[in-house]
Chain A
Amino acid sequence: MGVKLLLDKADVPGIRTYEVYRREGGYRAVEKALKQMTTDEIVEEVKKSGLRGRGGAGFPTGMKWSFIAKPEGVPRHLVCNADESEPGTFKDRYLMEFLPHLLLEGLIVSSYALGSHDTYIYIRGEYAWITTILEEAIEEAKAAGWLGKNILGTGFDCNIHVQRGGGAYICGEETALIESLEGNRGNPRIKPPFPAIQGLWMRPTVVNNVETLAAVVPIINMGGEEYAKIGVGKSTGTKLISACGNINKPGVYEIDMTITVEEFIYSDEYCGGIKDGKKLKACIPGGSSVPILPANLLLTTAKGEPRYMNYESLSDGGFATGSMLGSGGFIVLDEDQCIVKNTYTLARFYRHESCGQCSPCREGTGWMEKILQKIETGKGEMSDIDLLWDIQRKIEGNTICPLGDAAAWPVAAAIRHFRDEFEWHINNPELSQTSNFGLQHYADPIHVPA
């Protein structure tokens, strides 16, 4: 069993309630931080911990916090990003649903460190029942004196509010989220100014992911240095992985980032192997935006070394032969899955979610969807593959926000690693409607544990 810092108490009956959470040692981090630490000391501990943002980009959290502007007389805000809409990602939902007080505890400590008296949780609108769970937890925490005015007699005031979104992936992007929180369409802003200078209502704002803010609790409790000892290299602490697709045990797992991808997929502690005894074909290891890898490049790097479940190892080889840890949305595809069809559904997703501000993203996502649909339904031409490649390349790096890149990468990676499957679709328009290209050499020469 690996170390668990976030989900260690998830199975305790009644842990969702304040009473049980507190009895199990909850809110100790708030006591320690507010009574014994200065705000600078908290930021310093978070820096020492090496914690990197768990929302997808992996930016060092302590450094982000130190950028927040502190102009005289202007309120600052902490915003918790609970939009969780990246396909394959459902870890924040799990954390909020089962351990709402862990998130609140992290939010109170972080709000104190940043000087936020009104902190907002922006949650995707579809998570309606979780909104209720969070609001109940907030009432409990308030009744017990952890929120509201003069918390623990320290003079620090803080309220936490939950706002539901309206159904838009783009509102997970931090500036679109801020627009949405202001009651506008979710159109990302041009940076600079960065939110740390002018964010919510043009006030200094920090936006962090749910898991990032929850991780502040063990960091305060154990100290940044101890936290940094868990994991490896710049992948410190633990990471929540939401595993889905064709595996025996889909679900949310907390890992320390020293395990191999092979262990994660095949061990019974985690995914429990590929469903129905089938073979692994491909995997998107960090949410739908990151490059898909064929089995052989997933389990070992191009150099033939084992690949590990951490930031550095998953991106080893760059986009040519690697991918990214991203949001931790781990999507596994078995030998019967069609790469063209999978790529098509993702292209449709990005077309649907493009906010429409930049032409390369607005038009390009639509073109990619149409061409992929054409190939998938047996009407493709050989020139379509190069056309797709050309379109994705022209989107990447040419847009206001990273959604453009997020839409381009999955298409690029699918063509890069599975070009022969696209060609087979085009050469066999009828056969491809009833059968799949299968495994071919994508899984060679790796071995599959018995």
Chain B
Amino acid sequence: MVTTFNDTQITEFKRLVARYPEGKHKSALLPALHLAQDSFGGWLSTETLDYVASLLQIEPIEVYEVATFYSMYNLKPVGKFVFEVCQTGPCMVSGSDHIIDYIKKTLDIQPGETTKDGLFTLKLVECLGACGYAPMMQVGKIYKEHLTKEKVDSIIAEYRAQATNN
């Protein structure tokens, strides 16, 4: 996997850095990590972290300590689609347990695992600010809310179709 941004990504990177005053470019680290994760297969390898450090002209350790602190950065490879299902109180009282069990059974994976075909990863996460639309999960940049078993089926089918079409 190449770990250098293409021209479009470099332009976006420069836009991120330009938001901060002279000499405060380290502030762009979190957004830059999001950009890198989106650009390089949904996760951040050590090479990617080092690359981000070199772009921002900071020490690699400064990038590692940040990447390991925040839950959105994946430090291991993940499936093409990551199902991040919320399991906190408000979702739990609205039935998230049943949805989690159903996804485990349907995809035959445990939380943290990826399906053999590399398509789906299941991740259990804490409150995503969608408590009124529970149960819910995040897939990439999209929230899937008011989940039911039927809805989970159709979401899985939707992503399977998307994967075959690409």
> Which A residues lie at the B interface, using CB under 8 A?
75, 84-90, 93, 118, 124-129, 161, 163-169, 180-186, 201, 242-246, 250-252, 284, 288, 329, 331, 333-334, 337, 341-342, 345-346, 348-349, 352-353, 355
CB distance A185 to B94 under 8 Å?
no
- B34 nearest in chain A by CB position: A164
Q: Is the CB of A166 within 8 A of B71?
A: yes
Q: Given known contacts A118-B21, A181-B27, A245-B94, what 15 new A-B pairs fall within 8 Å (CB)?
A: A84-B129, A88-B131, A126-B138, A164-B34, A166-B73, A167-B71, A184-B26, A186-B69, A244-B90, A244-B134, A250-B131, A284-B89, A331-B93, A345-B92, A352-B71
* CB–CB B89/A349 < 8 A: yes
**Minimum CB–CB distance for A69 against chain B, Å:** 18
Q: B130: CB under 8 A from chain A?
A: yes
CA distance A85 to B142 in the complex (A): 17
Are A246 and B127 interface neighbours, CB within 8 A?
Answer: no
Are B90 and A165 interface neighbours, CB within 8 A? Answer: no
Q: Which of A242, A251, A345 contacts B89 (CB 8 A)?
A: A345
Residue of B21, B93, B127, B128 contacting most chain A CB atoms (<10 Å): B127
Contact A250 B126 (CB under 8 A): no
- Cβ of B30 under 8 Å from chain A: yes
Contact A349 B88 (CB under 8 A): yes
Assess the A163–B129 pair: CB atoms within 8 A.
Answer: no
Chain A, Cβ-Cβ closest to B66: A185
User: Nearest residue in A to B69 (C-beta to C-beta)?
Assistant: A185
Q: Give which listed residue, A85, A168, A181, A355, contacts B129 with CB less than 8 A.
A: A85
Q: B72-113 toward A: CB 8 Å interface, digit per residue (1/0)?
A: 110000000000000111101110000000000000000000
- CB-CB nearest in chain A for B141: A128
Q: Given the interface contacts A126-B72, A167-B72, A242-B131, does A352 sit within 8 Å of B126 by beta carbon?
A: yes
A244 touches B72 (CB 8 A): no
Sampled A-B contacts (24; CB under 8 Å): A87-B131, A89-B131, A90-B129, A93-B129, A124-B129, A125-B30, A125-B70, A126-B72, A126-B128, A128-B141, A165-B70, A166-B30, A166-B33, A166-B34, A167-B70, A168-B70, A168-B71, A183-B26, A183-B30, A201-B24, A244-B131, A244-B134, A246-B94, A345-B89
Which residues of A have CB within 8 Å of B73? 166-167
* Chain A residues within an 8 Å CB radius of B41: none
Number of A-B contacts (CB under 8 A): 144
Q: Which residues on the B side are within 8 Å of A180 (C-beta)?
A: 30
How would residues 128 to 149 of chain B score, 1 for a CB under 8 Å from any chain A CB and 0 otherwise? 1111111000100111000000
Contact check, B89 vs A87: say whether CB atoms are below 8 A apart.
yes
**Shortest CB–CB separation between residue A352 and chain B, in angstroms?**
6
Residues of chain B whose beta carbon lies under 8 Å from any beta carbon of chain A: 19-21, 24, 26-31, 33-34, 56, 58, 62, 65-66, 69-73, 87-90, 92-94, 126-134, 138, 141-143
**B88 in contact with A346 (CB, 8 Å):** yes
Contact A183 B70 (CB under 8 A): no
Which residues of chain B come closer than 8 Å to A89, judged between CB atoms? 129, 131
Whether the pair B132, A251 counts as a contact (CB closer than 8 A) is yes
Name the distance in Å between A357's Cβ and chain B's nearest Cβ.
12
Closest Cβ of chain A: how far from B14's Cβ, in Å? 14
Residues A183 and B69 in contact in the complex (CB < 8 Å), given A118-B21, A128-B141: no
Indicate if the CB atoms of A166 and B131 lie closer than 8 Å. no
How many angstroms between the C-alpha atoms of A348 and B131 in the bound complex? 17
Please measure, in the bound complex, the distance between the C-alpha atom of A244 and the C-alpha atom of B133, giving whole angstroms.
8
Contacts of A346 in B (CB 8 A): 88-89
Please name the residue on chain B nearest to A187 by beta carbon: B69
What residues of chain A lie closer than 8 Å to B24, measured between beta carbons?
182, 201
Query: Which of B28, B70, B89, B92 interacts with A166 by CB under 8 Å?
Result: B70
- Shortest 4 CB-CB distances between A and B: which pairs? A166-B70, A167-B72, A183-B29, A250-B132
Chain A nearest CB from B146 CB (Å) reads 10
Q: Please name the residue on chain A nearest to B132 by beta carbon.
A: A250
Residues in B neighbouring A75, C-beta threshold 8 A: 21
Across the interface, name the chain B residue whose C-beta is closest to A118: B21
Given the complex, which residues of B lie within 8 Å of A243, measured CB to CB? 132
Task: Tell me the minimal C-beta distance from B22 to chain A in angstroms.
Answer: 11
| Complex CA distance for A266 and B81, rounded to whole angstroms | 40
Task: Please give the distance in Å from B125's CB to the nearest CB on chain A.
Answer: 8
Verify A164–B31 contact, CB threshold 8 A: yes
* Nearest CB in chain B to that of A161: its residue: B19
Do the beta carbons of B132 and A242 come within 8 Å of each other? yes
Residues of A close to B62: CB separation below 8 A: 183
Min distance, Cβ A97 to any Cβ of chain B, angstroms: 11
Name the residue of chain A whose CB is nearest to the CB of B146.
A250
* Chain B residues whose CB sits within 8 angstroms of the CB of A163 once the complex forms: 19, 27, 30-31
Task: Report chain A residues within 8 Å CB of B71.
Answer: 166-168, 352
A245 touches B127 (CB 8 A): no
Chain A positions within 8 Å of B33 at CB level: 166
The chain B residue sitting closest to A329, CB to CB, is B131
B28 near A183 (CB under 8 angstroms)?
yes
Contacts of A84 in B (CB 8 A): 129
